[in-house]
Structures are given as structure tokens and as C-alpha cells.
Chains A and B, each alone.
Chain A
Amino acid sequence: MKTLKIIPLLIICISALYSCNNDNKTPAKSGIRISEVHLLTNYQQKTIQLDYEDAINTGFVIPSTNQTNNGKFDFQFIIGNETDTEHEYFYKIYYQNESYKWPNTNPLDNTKQHEFAHENFYGSWEDTNIEFKPAGQISPGKKLKITDNFRIVGNPRNERKYFYEGENDRWKRNPRVGAYSFMIVVVTEKDIKKIPNFITNINKQNETQFANPFFYFLDGQGKNIENCEVNYYDKILSVTASPDLGQGVFIDRQLFANKNDPGFTDLYDCNCNATEEMYNKANIAQFIHYIDESSQINNVPVIQDFFNGNFTKEEYNYLRAFYKKEDRIKVLPQTASKACETVKSDSIEEKIIIRNPASEYGKWQKQNVGMITRHGFTYGKFTVKANLTELLNEDNVWNGITNAIWLIYQGGRYSDSINWNLRRPCKEKGYMKNYWGGREDERVERVDYSEIDFEILKTVPYCPSSKFPPVYSNYEAHTNRVKDWNTKLPEDVLKDDANIAVCCTNWDLACWEPKNFSTGCHEIKHNGKTYLAHRWEDCYRAVTTKHMAPDNELFANDYYYFQIDWQPDKIIWRIGPEKDQLFEVGYIDQTISMIPDNQMLLIVTQEFHNTDWWPGSPYQQENIPFPEKDYVGEIYEITVE
């Protein structure tokens, strides 16, 4: 009971705190005093978790009807007329995400808007046709209390490019996570006309570009309007996201090439299916890899329990030497033949389980498996707590798996729902048109493809280039000379015998715009650390930094944390045993690579890569046996902050 009594007291205190802070803001010349501002009167916490209910259809709304009584943030303030004459007043509230934004002002000329400030996530009332609301007439010396509400929604500018057949697909530009600031603008009837309509109606553009109202009122021409009072409230609310992983797995049938095969739906169950209910409920979908023809391998026809102690370096060398092409099996890494077979949502423990299925004679498979989130974000600190499969066994031989935690651009509702998620134009040379294309691929100004990766596998660093590639001994298949086939790995490689490479990659589609765009190894410093970013050639579509880490630390414990901190101008990759013990392992910024700015989804996969993609790898995929047992990975928690 005592606790209950304290709550109103706390509310009063918090409200008073806001009020106190804001009452101190006294207008200089406007004659308008805004006081007793209470911004979120019906929500008393500083942090709000995104509500995933129905967000797949509506996009995230902040707050949802589950979070406040009316599904809106109520706010109130008092307008005081401190002039000698009666005026009619108008007001408007704006919000802007502050954690993931470009500065409002151009750093070279603070009277101008930053060239990318229009990309910032800002909004007002979701009906953009409601411009400034009339507060009414206020006599000199009098005050008027305003009570109103708003909510933060996707596509707050109601941009047509996010519409599909007349429907506003707000989920295509979801609210960003992180801190939000608010701005209340009050203006007289006389001066409202001085505010351009692309500010009063954020749906409108200033010529060809949106204008950021925060720049306009705080740093631009808006701050000079005489009878206009602007009150800015910095980082009042923090938004985070954490999808419930126990809500099921949705099967998006259009992604499965084999959806019409008999038995495809055999493994549907109540927590994994393609029903409308699951479409609305599940936060996770089964991810189906695109399998490129180039990833085919002539694999040894051997099935091994990889972690039972028998698969040693010697066995690898033996298979490599003695299994000629005519003994091998040509396969492509597979994808699931049946929906729900390799991904499960555990509704009790609220986790996702993925598994690369075991092989049996006649059904040799190296199947890529994974999960994908269904709600896209632009920017954020994506943290994944997971126990993915171990990659190295006792003898430090690789099982051929790449554990990947990555972001990929979000697609539309249907195949014709295109061009809504394009990246910012590349002004130098353009982007390579297709992510899979070759050197001669066409260059275009804009693409939608974006990808940010953690790819964790057994390979070698490419930098410094003087040490790459490692020199491996040649081997020959002589049954009567063990030394001929059982060659040793070079010392340089053995130094990292128990380590795996944490490869941090940004796919910039070879846009040359960054000022330090380069090929080969390029030093880049951050937080006192020097990273070596590598790009094969100037038409290579991605840049990678690598960090060697013990396999046992990342994958032999109960769990480990992986974080992609995607900011507008940089990407930082961190890992660690606990969320408060993360350390940086990769860094790429806009000086060397185009950082994506479109909406992306998070994917967690366990994949079999063709090692031709990873030159210098000590173990080649084709000499690694098929799994005798499932390789299981568990994802316990995903947060976006």
C-alpha cells in the first residue's frame, strides 16, 4: 500500500521536473511564454519498448494501445500572451530521433541544413495535413492551457514511395530506436504565414528535398520569426526493441522455390506455419538463402561426427589427398526442403533454435539454415545473445560452418513493390547494379541492396597484404608415404589454430564516394585501435575488417553477445561474454565506405560457404565431411537500441 501511495507523488515530481526545466525557457522577443509543459503525461517512464503487436501490418506505433490508455502520448502546456495585444495563437509539436541522425546543420556553414538532415527520422501528427493547430485567441497577459496528444509512427512524412496500391505501408519506414527529442512551436496568426508550407506540412518538399523542421526552427530561418516561440526538449524518451522469439516462425511461402513440392508443409505446427494468424503474430521468419551456382562443391562423400574426436587434421589431409574428383559428390549447399524443419521457436524459453541437419547415406547435405526478423529498422545497435554452433573441434579443424549475424535490406510486400527502400545516391561512379554481378556489371546511381555482416569462420587475415596469402605445402597422394599427403599448416596459420576469424563487412556496392575509398588494406583508427579494412579491387562490392578470436570463447560457452552498432556515419562491431563486457572487433566509417541508410532486417544463420570466397583458408569446404549430427544454434535474445 505504501508503494502505491508513492506513485502519484513520483508522477507529480517527474511532471514538476519537466515543468521546472521548461518554465525556465523564457521567450526573448516573441511575447509568447510557454510554460508548465508536461510532455508525456500518460506515460511516466523514460524508456519505451516497441510493441510488436500488429506492427507487421501497421508499422511500429509509439505508444501502442497496450502502452497508454489511448494509444497516444498526451501532452499539455500553457501559452501565455506577454504582449499588449490580443493574438490568435497556433501550435505544433514535432519529434525527432536523436540517436541515429545526421546533425541538423551543415558543419561547414551552420546557416544551412546538413546535406543529409532530411533523412533524419522526424515527424509530427501522423496526418500531415494537420499543420499548425489553432490554440485560440489569448488576451494580453492571459494564458491558455493546451491539452493534446500525438504518437510516433512509421513514414511520418507520409511519403508516397512507401505506399502500395493506395495503402500507406508505414512499416517500410519504421520509427528508429534510440532517444527522441520534442519541439513545441507556438506562433501568432500573423507570423504563421512566414513559415513555409514544407515546414508546416512535413509531407511537402522544399523544391526537391524535404526540409528538417528542427533545423528550420533551431538553426535556420525559423529562429528569426518574431512572434514564434520554439521550445526544444532534448532526448526525453528512449525507444528500444526486443522481439519476442517465442511468438512463432512465419513461413513466407513466396521465398521457397520448392513450396509446391509434396511434403513441403508436413512439418507445419502451431508455432511454425504460414497462416494469417502467424503472419500477424510472429516476429521471426524462416530464412531461405539464395544459393548461387558458383557455390557448388565437389565434396568428399564422407559423413562424420565432427566433434567426436576422430576428425583430425590428419583425417582432413587424408580426405583431401585421396579422394579424387571421381570419388566425390557434386552438391550445392542446400536450403530446407520442408518448411519449419530447421528452425523452431521455443515459446517456453522464448528462443529460436536453428539446426543444420545431419546427413545420411544418399542424402548428403550441407544445408544453410537461419532466421530473419520481420520488422525492419534503419540504424540501431543490434545485439544478439546466442549460442551458435562451435566451428572448430578438439584438433582445431573447421566444420565448414560460417556463423553469420547480419543485416540485409528489406524487401517489399510483393515483387512489384520496388524502389521504396533505395540507398542514398552514390555520387562517385555509382553503385554496382547487382550484388552478385561480376566486374563488368553496370553502375547505377541508386540500389536497394545493403548488407552488414558478422561472418565468423575459419579463415586467415588478408592484412597486412605482405603476409597474405599463406604458403601451404603441396601434397601428393602416396599411400606408402605419409609425409607426402600429411602436410603441416604454415606456422603463421598455426599461430591462429584455435582462433576463428570474426569478419566484419559492409557491402557498399563499390561506391567510390567515400573520400578514402581504396583497395587492398587500409588502416582506419577508432577508439585507439587500428583496424585494417580490406577490399579486393575497386569494383569489389564490400569492405571487411577481421578480428581473430578463440572459437572456444565465442561458441563453446552457454552464450555470447554479438553487436552491430549501425550509425549514419559508421558501423562498429562488438562482441563479448556479457552485454556490459562488449569490446570492439570491427570498425568501418563513411570515410572508406558508403554506410547504408535504408531499412534492414536482422538475420542469424549457420551457413556452408564455398571457401573459394575466402582465399587462403586452411580448410577447403570440399574436403570437410558432411555432418553426421545436427549443428545446433540457439538465439536467446535480440535487442535493437
Chain B
Amino acid sequence: MLNIKNKKLLIILSIIAFLVLSALVYYIGKILNEKPIIVQNRIIQNEDIYYYMIDFETAKHLAPNSNLSKSNSLSGENSGILETYQSYSPAAIIPIPTNDSAKLSDVNIKFWISPNSSVIKAILVFSIIDQNQNQIHWEGFNIDGDNYVKNNWHSFQNTFSFPKNLTSTSNSIKVYLWNIDKDGNTIYIDDLSISFDENYVPESPRSKFIDFENSESKKVSSKYSKSGFYSTVAEGIDAFSESVTIPMSDIKYDNLGSIAYSFHYLCEKPQIDAAFVISICDSLGNDVYWNSTHLSFENHPVQIWEIGNGNAFIPKEALKASNNIKIYLWNRNENTIFIDDVYIVIKENDTSTESQDQVAYNFLVAKTFEKKVNHPPYDFRYANLTKINNKNISELNKVFTKSKKVITGKFDRNNKKDMILALYSDSQYLLSFNKNEIISNKIEFKPQLPQNYNAFTDKGIVFISDLDKNTISHYEYKQKSKTFELTAEASVTDVSAIAGISINKDKTISIFKNTGNVSNYLQNDNNYKLLSNKSLIQSEFGNLKYFKGNFLDANQQVLLIFIQNKQDKYMLFEYQNSTQSWILSPSHSNKSSQSFDKLEFLNDYYIFNFDNQSQVKLLEFSNTQKFELKLLNFNKMSYEILYNIDFKGYQRKQNPKYYEISKILTGDFIGDQRTEIIIFQDNLDKIDWLNQKVEIYSFE
């Protein structure tokens, strides 16, 4: 029995031992197995460095005196041109990057050709030259077909075996295209990529081609197509084409510097106003980067495919695996626009010295200026000094030096010009301009202003918030008595948090708090009654600025610039009479799209009518890095910085931008339906050539 028991025990122990041993072998094997994987990864990483993209935009890697053309290109502006029989494309010459033949087993070459006929007869030559330029190896990849789509871009690729005995850093590979079409049809070559990657993947993580053939979107049309059967369409004002989303994780984004793109478009009417957009949005759908190529033509040929292109510099902060690249067309007029064959090329930051040399624009790289949205350099506009009589200049000066609070507005219903209401601790003055004279009138508030207050205005009405009593008082100006008389009052909680007050179309008022809350009040005799309370957004630590104006169209919007999750945000709201509530403006995407130059909360902003148009602009003032006055405009998707503002006509050398302290008021003080800038300038230390002064500047 014992023997049997022992046997059983032995069997059980043997099984256990076998299992333990198997597990050990498995784990040890697994551990041992990891090594080659790690090694392999490392090799791939190393080999991955040996990747070269020749986009023919710069002379880098190209033989001298290369024949380039601007008449056709896949990405950027240039391509290589082969105009005649037996002509050659620009040759890419790349020094062999290593002496280790194990790292250069194959050379993978991918390139695009566009013929001006249906024929392509060419040879892609892969050769090796020694340091004396002697050719020591030659191999060709033959392309011979007569069924290509004319003027379209066609992709080709081939893998050449690298001759191991020629692996030497003193040699170079030379790759070029050779036109052997006896009829001499012109062909173009662009975006030639050369890699020594052993595990060659046909679809490059550095380029994408979108032809809308497999799209399931409703915005795909078979009416026109550049290639295949389908294209995407945007029909009518503010219509969008299909939005192509490319997860950042799908591309090689870690050293992404810019995205070069080209697209084909076709219009049905000659007037085009559209933007081809490349944006990057975060996982919540907020745009963290927005860039567009503006298509603006008065008389564009219709029903003909044209090519557009551009290059978007991508800020580092937009490079996250969880972000998505979105590509779409935003149509801005009644036209119908078709888009097809979109091609994007990921351009990495070159780690060589020159590419670190980031300037606003590099004409050595791209010789024709292509304006980037909200990216310097900006165009300048000059505000001219308006001469005013010095008689009451001290009163205007005092506005900036002595007052507790200053607001501007059309307070006097008989005067169409903006006036300045200066509130001092013991008095109040109303300043206006009449034929270059400063008119200063002492006025009164009835009842008198409280001790601690703040002041707001809309449509000529002045609202005084009593910080001690938590009330809001509504004052209206009576010209005859030169008094602001109390009309109504409201009890409001936490008046110190008020960012702005709006008088709405239905005569309700809305009090916006810096928390992102808005409360609506209805006037009932001498009191305001709370109607509703709503949280529009959540700003951090009361970091919110309020502006009201018709930024987008004839409707008035409230623009809130705020900080949320430590990021600068902005949103536009409109008052809806039917619901007596504030909603996100339907005229704006409200994605807080930011560009290279952001709409920063910390800057100062002023409503600005620059060109006597119904839509107002925003004047942005910053004096941290340098004195910067920028004029910007809102549109459906985002905002656009239009101009930098500088000054002209100032006395001697006293440009307002030189001063250490600047304070600004804006308004239509002259009555020309445009906004003027009143700017007070002073210095912390005495500077003999910069006198303290206050001036008014206007635009012609």
C-alpha cells in the first residue's frame, strides 16, 4: 500500500515538478525571448534615422543646378521636371550614412510622378557614386505605361538591394528619374522618399493620400472626381466638406515640424471664398491648432480641377498621441466646392543647425510668401495722430492719472459720438470732442456714487455696482441737468465678480460674472427682478473678460475670454429672445480654436470699428514682450489677426510704443463711425525725450 501510496505521491510530485519546471522554462524562455525583440526595436529605431524626404522645396540633398519647376507640385511649390526625351530629374545625392552593411540591406524608394499625358516611360535610377563622383553602381526601376490619368499624381515604389561591398561613408547614393519617352512628354517628380528601413511598410507613416473613394460620409459626391469616382463637397455658405480625421498616433508625429499638403478643388461658380483647413483637436474635440489656406477668387474657372497647396507649421504643444488631425473645406459663400485627392506629407524638424533657426518666415526655403493664419509676420497699419487743441488736455490727462474708473460710451442720446466718463473720488466728468476741442463737463450722479463701486456700461446706460451693498444701480444721462439719474436698482450677489452687463433686445439685462455665470433681470418699475441664472462656462479663479459687440454679423455677441484648465479659451454667445437666455453663437464654431499666436486672457482687449463696417473687430494690446497692438477679426471657425498697429504723426521721437506705461481708451470720439485710440503714455523714470502725454490716434 505504502509503495502504491509512495508511487502516487511520486507521480503527483513528478507532475508538480513538471508543471513548476514548465512554468520556469516558460518564464525563463519568455525573459530570454524579450531580448531579441528589444534588440530588434533598437535596430529599427536606428535604421529609421536613415530616412530622407526630398520634396524639391530646398536644395538640400539635391545636386547643384537642379531643374525645378513651380508649374506643378504635389506638396509645397516645387517639383522636379523632365521636359524632354532623355532628360533627367534633379538628382538626390545622399552620403551613405554608415559603414555598417548590416544596417543597409535594402533601399526603399517611393516617389510620385505626374505626366502631362497618359504616358509615363521613365526609369528610376538608383546609383552609387564614389567620392570622386565616379559611378560605381547602377540599377534602374522601369516605369512604362500609357494609361495614366493626365496631370494626376501617381505613386511608385521600389526596393533595391544595397550592394554590401559598397557600404562606405565615402560613397553616396544618387537617385534620379530618367525620361525615356521618345515623344518627349513632360513628367514631374515630387516627394521622393528614400529609406534604408529593412521592414519597409508600403504606406508611409509620413504621408497620407485621401481620395474619398471609400468614404461613407454623406458629403461625398460622384458628380465630379479628380481620381476614381468620388470627391467630397461643400455646398453653400458655411458648409463643410467631409472632415478627414487622422489620429496623431497613426503618423510619425514625435518630431513633426510642419504638414505640407496639396488638394484638388473644383468650383461650380466663379466666385470662391473658402478655406482649406488643417486643424488639430484634442480628445474633447477642442481645436488646439487651426490653420487654413484661403481660396479667394473673383473669377475662377468653373468645373475645372485646380490644385491648391500649403504648409502648416505645427506647434509642439499640439503634438499628442491623443490628438487628431482634421482636414476639411469650409465654404464661405454660395458656391459649391468639390475636393478630391488630398495629399499630406509630414515634415519633420530637421535637427541640423539651420532648421533650428526658427524665424517668422524663411524666404530661403519658400520664395513666395504664404501667409500663415495668426503667425507673424503681420502686415502693419498705422494710426495717425489727430491734432487736438491743448486747451483741456490736462483734463484728458487727468482721466488716466487721477480717476478711479473710466468708461466710454454714447451716454448723451443727442450726441452720436462716444464720450468719456471719468469717475474721481470726489467728482465726475464727462469728456467729449468737438472739432478738435476737448469739452470737459463736470457732471453729477443722483443719487451720489457709493464709496466702493465699479462701473459698467452698455448702450449709453451706466451701471454702478455698490461693492458694500451688493446692488446694481442703473443710471441714465440727462443732458439738460448734466446729471446721471438713477432709474432702477437690483440686488445682486457677489457684485465684485461682475465682468460685464448687457442690455438685451427684450430690455432685460444680463449680468455676467467672472465665474462664467450669467443672470438675467427684468426691469420692474425701479427694480430689477431676477429671471434666471445660468452657467455658461467654468472659468478658473475668476479669470474671465467680457466684451460685447457684433463680432460675427449684425447680431450682437458677447465674447468671453477666459482661462479653463490653465488654457486660454474664448467663446461667443448670443442672446435668444424666445428663451430669454444666452446660447453659444450659431455663427461661430465655439471650439476655442487657437493658432500660433493665441488669444491670451492676460492681454487687454478693446472693441474696435476699424473700417466703418457693421462687423466690429477686436484690438488686442500686450506690453510684456514688446508693445503690441493687434487688430483681429472673428470668423465662423476662429479668429484672424489682421494687422499690427503702429503710430504715425507723433511729435519728434515720441512714438507711443516707446513708453514704459501705456493706457488705452477706445471709442468713436470724433464721430467718423470708426474707432479712435486715446493713449496715455508715461515713464517710470524720467526720460528727457519722452514727455508724459495723452494723444488721440485715428485711422484714415
Residues of A within 8 A of B (CB): 296, 298, 301-303, 310, 312, 314-315, 318, 322-332, 361-364, 395, 477, 479-483, 486
> Which chain A residue lies CB-closest to B363?
A331
Contact assessment for A332 and B363 in the assembled complex, using a CB-CB cutoff below 8 Å: yes
Contact assessment for A482 and B363 in the assembled complex, using a CB-CB cutoff below 8 Å: no
Q: Contacting A327 at CB < 8 Å: which of B377, B379, B623, B655?
A: B377
Residue of A303, A312, A329 most packed against chain B (CB within 10 A): A329
In angstroms, how far is the closest chain B Cβ from the Cβ of A484? 10
Task: Determine the distance from Cα of A573 to Cα of B379 in the docked complex, in whole angstroms.
Answer: 44
Contact assessment for B359 and A329 in the assembled complex, using a CB-CB cutoff below 8 Å: yes
Residue of A330, A477, A479 most packed against chain B (CB within 10 A): A479
Of residues 336 through 376 on chain B, the ones whose CB sits less than 8 Å from some CB of chain A are 357-364, 369, 371, 376
Q: Is B648 an interface residue (CB 8 A)?
A: yes
Q: Contacting A362 at CB < 8 Å: which of B358, B362, B369?
A: B369
Task: Determine the distance from Cα of A323 to Cα of B369 in the docked complex, in whole angstroms.
Answer: 20
10 other A-B residue contacts (CB within 8 Å) besides A361-B380, A362-B371: A310-B648, A327-B376, A329-B377, A330-B363, A332-B364, A361-B377, A361-B379, A364-B369, A480-B661, A482-B660
Q: Is B131 an interface residue (CB 8 A)?
A: no
Contact assessment for A481 and B660 in the assembled complex, using a CB-CB cutoff below 8 Å: yes
> Which chain A residue lies CB-closest to B650?
A310
Task: Determine the distance from Cα of A587 to Cα of B660 in the docked complex, in whole angstroms.
Answer: 50
Q: Is B541 an interface residue (CB 8 A)?
A: no
Cβ contacts under 8 Å, B361 to chain A? 301, 329-330
Cβ contacts under 8 Å, B683 to chain A? 482
Residue of B360, B378, B655, B659 most packed against chain A (CB within 10 A): B360
In angstroms, how far is the closest chain B Cβ from the Cβ of A319? 10
> Which chain B residue lies CB-closest to A305?
B648
In angstroms, how far is the closest chain B Cβ from the Cβ of A44? 56
In angstroms, how far is the closest chain A Cβ from the Cβ of B679? 14
In angstroms, how far is the closest chain B Cβ from the Cβ of A180? 46
Cβ contacts under 8 Å, B659 to chain A? 482
Contact with A along B617-632 (1 / 0, CB 8 A): 0000001111100000
Q: Is B687 an interface residue (CB 8 A)?
A: yes
Q: Is B525 an interface residue (CB 8 A)?
A: no
Q: List 25 A-B contacts (CB under 8 A).
A: A298-B359, A301-B378, A314-B658, A314-B689, A322-B625, A322-B626, A325-B359, A326-B358, A326-B359, A326-B360, A328-B359, A328-B360, A329-B359, A329-B360, A329-B362, A329-B377, A330-B364, A364-B363, A477-B625, A479-B624, A479-B626, A480-B660, A481-B660, A482-B683, A486-B658
Cβ contacts under 8 Å, B362 to chain A? 329-330
Contact assessment for B380 and A483 in the assembled complex, using a CB-CB cutoff below 8 Å: no
Contact assessment for B360 and A327 in the assembled complex, using a CB-CB cutoff below 8 Å: yes
Q: Contacting B364 at CB < 8 Å: which of A296, A328, A480?
A: A296
Task: Determine the distance from Cα of A302 to Cα of B683 in the docked complex, in whole angstroms.
Answer: 25
**Dominant secondary structure at the A interface:** loop
> Which chain A residue lies CB-closest to B659?
A482
Q: Is B653 an interface residue (CB 8 A)?
A: yes
Contact with A along B678-695 (1 / 0, CB 8 A): 000001110101100000
> Which chain B residue lies CB-closest to A334?
B363
Task: Determine the distance from Cα of A146 to Cα of B687 in the docked complex, in whole angstroms.
Answer: 89
Cβ contacts under 8 Å, B591 to chain A? none
Task: Determine the distance from Cα of A234 to Cα of B401 in the docked complex, in whole angstroms.
Answer: 87
Q: Is B150 an interface residue (CB 8 A)?
A: no
Of residues 32 through 82 on chain B, the ones whose CB sits less than 8 Å from some CB of chain A are none
Of residues 631 through 663 on chain B, the ones whose CB sits less than 8 Å from some CB of chain A are 648, 653, 655, 657-661
Task: Determine the distance from Cα of A325 to Cα of B364 in the docked complex, in whole angstroms.
Answer: 15
In angstroms, how far is the closest chain B Cβ from the Cβ of A320? 12
Task: Determine the distance from Cα of A120 to Cα of B653 in the docked complex, in whole angstroms.
Answer: 60
Residues of B within 8 A of A (CB): 357-364, 369, 371, 376-380, 623-627, 648, 653, 655, 657-661, 683-685, 687, 689-690
> Which chain B residue lies CB-closest to A313?
B653
In angstroms, how far is the closest chain B Cβ from the Cβ of A292? 13
Cβ contacts under 8 Å, A480 to chain B? 623, 660-661, 684
User: 7 shortest A-B CB distances, which residue pairs?
Assistant: A301-B377, A322-B626, A362-B369, A361-B379, A330-B362, A480-B660, A330-B359
In angstroms, how far is the closest chain A Cβ from the Cβ of B310? 14
Task: Determine the distance from Cα of A63 to Cα of B380 in the docked complex, in whole angstroms.
Answer: 60
> Which chain A residue lies CB-closest to B596?
A326
> Which chain B residue lies CB-closest to A328?
B359
Residue of A302, A303, A361 most packed against chain B (CB within 10 A): A361
In angstroms, how far is the closest chain A Cβ from the Cβ of B367? 9
> Which chain B residue lies CB-closest to A365?
B363
Cβ contacts under 8 Å, A328 to chain B? 359-360
In angstroms, how far is the closest chain A Cβ from the Cβ of B418? 28
Contact assessment for B687 and A314 in the assembled complex, using a CB-CB cutoff below 8 Å: no
Cβ contacts under 8 Å, B648 to chain A? 310
Task: Determine the distance from Cα of A302 to Cα of B380 in the docked complex, in whole angstroms.
Answer: 8
> Which chain B residue lies CB-closest to A482?
B687
> Which chain B residue lies CB-closest to A360?
B379
* Given A310-B648, A480-B660, A482-B658: A329 and B380 interface contact (C-beta under 8 Å): no
Q: Contacting A330 at CB < 8 Å: which of B357, B653, B685, B689?
A: B357
In angstroms, how far is the closest chain B Cβ from the Cβ of A55? 33
Task: Determine the distance from Cα of A310 to Cα of B254 in the docked complex, in whole angstroms.
Answer: 46
Task: Determine the distance from Cα of A363 to Cα of B367 in the docked complex, in whole angstroms.
Answer: 9
In angstroms, how far is the closest chain A Cβ from the Cβ of B494? 34
Cβ contacts under 8 Å, B369 to chain A? 362-364
> Which chain A residue lies CB-closest to B622?
A479
Cβ contacts under 8 Å, A296 to chain B? 364
Q: Contacting A312 at CB < 8 Å: which of B363, B376, B653?
A: B653
Task: Determine the distance from Cα of A312 to Cα of B685 in the docked complex, in whole angstroms.
Answer: 21
Task: Determine the distance from Cα of A323 to Cα of B359 in the docked complex, in whole angstroms.
Answer: 11
In angstroms, how far is the closest chain A Cβ from the Cβ of B41? 36
Cβ contacts under 8 Å, B661 to chain A? 480
* Given A302-B380, A326-B359: A481 and B364 interface contact (C-beta under 8 Å): no
> Which chain A residue lies CB-closest to B628?
A322
Cβ contacts under 8 Å, B380 to chain A? 302-303, 361
In angstroms, how far is the closest chain A Cβ from the Cβ of B406? 22
In angstroms, how far is the closest chain B Cβ from the Cβ of A131? 50
Contact assessment for A479 and B359 in the assembled complex, using a CB-CB cutoff below 8 Å: no
Cβ contacts under 8 Å, B357 to chain A? 298, 325, 330
Contact assessment for B363 and A329 in the assembled complex, using a CB-CB cutoff below 8 Å: yes
Q: Contacting A479 at CB < 8 Å: which of B358, B378, B655, B660?
A: B660
Q: Contacting B655 at CB < 8 Å: which of A315, A322, A483?
A: A315
Task: Determine the distance from Cα of A324 to Cα of B357 in the docked complex, in whole angstroms.
Answer: 12
Task: Determine the distance from Cα of A479 to Cα of B689 in the docked complex, in whole angstroms.
Answer: 16
Task: Determine the distance from Cα of A482 to Cα of B656 in the docked complex, in whole angstroms.
Answer: 12
In angstroms, how far is the closest chain A Cβ from the Cβ of B475? 36
> Which chain A residue lies CB-closest to B624?
A479
Cβ contacts under 8 Å, A322 to chain B? 625-627
Cβ contacts under 8 Å, B657 to chain A? 318
Cβ contacts under 8 Å, B684 to chain A? 480-481
Q: Contacting B623 at CB < 8 Å: which of A298, A315, A479, A481?
A: A479
Contact assessment for A301 and B360 in the assembled complex, using a CB-CB cutoff below 8 Å: yes
Cβ contacts under 8 Å, A298 to chain B? 357, 359
Cβ contacts under 8 Å, A361 to chain B? 377, 379-380
Task: Determine the distance from Cα of A296 to Cα of B357 in the docked complex, in whole angstroms.
Answer: 12
Residue of A314, A324, A477 most packed against chain B (CB within 10 A): A314
Cβ contacts under 8 Å, B360 to chain A? 301, 326-329
Task: Determine the distance from Cα of A64 to Cα of B357 in the docked complex, in whole angstroms.
Answer: 60
Residue of A328, A330, A364 most packed against chain B (CB within 10 A): A330
Cβ contacts under 8 Å, B358 to chain A? 325-326
Task: Determine the distance from Cα of A494 to Cα of B68 in the docked complex, in whole angstroms.
Answer: 49
In angstroms, how far is the closest chain A Cβ from the Cβ of B616? 23
Task: Determine the distance from Cα of A364 to Cα of B687 in the docked complex, in whole angstroms.
Answer: 34
In angstroms, how far is the closest chain A Cβ from the Cβ of B69? 10
Cβ contacts under 8 Å, A315 to chain B? 653, 655
Contact assessment for B626 and A477 in the assembled complex, using a CB-CB cutoff below 8 Å: yes
Contact assessment for B625 and A318 in the assembled complex, using a CB-CB cutoff below 8 Å: no
> Which chain A residue lies CB-closest to B647?
A310
Task: Determine the distance from Cα of A296 to Cα of B684 in the docked complex, in whole angstroms.
Answer: 39
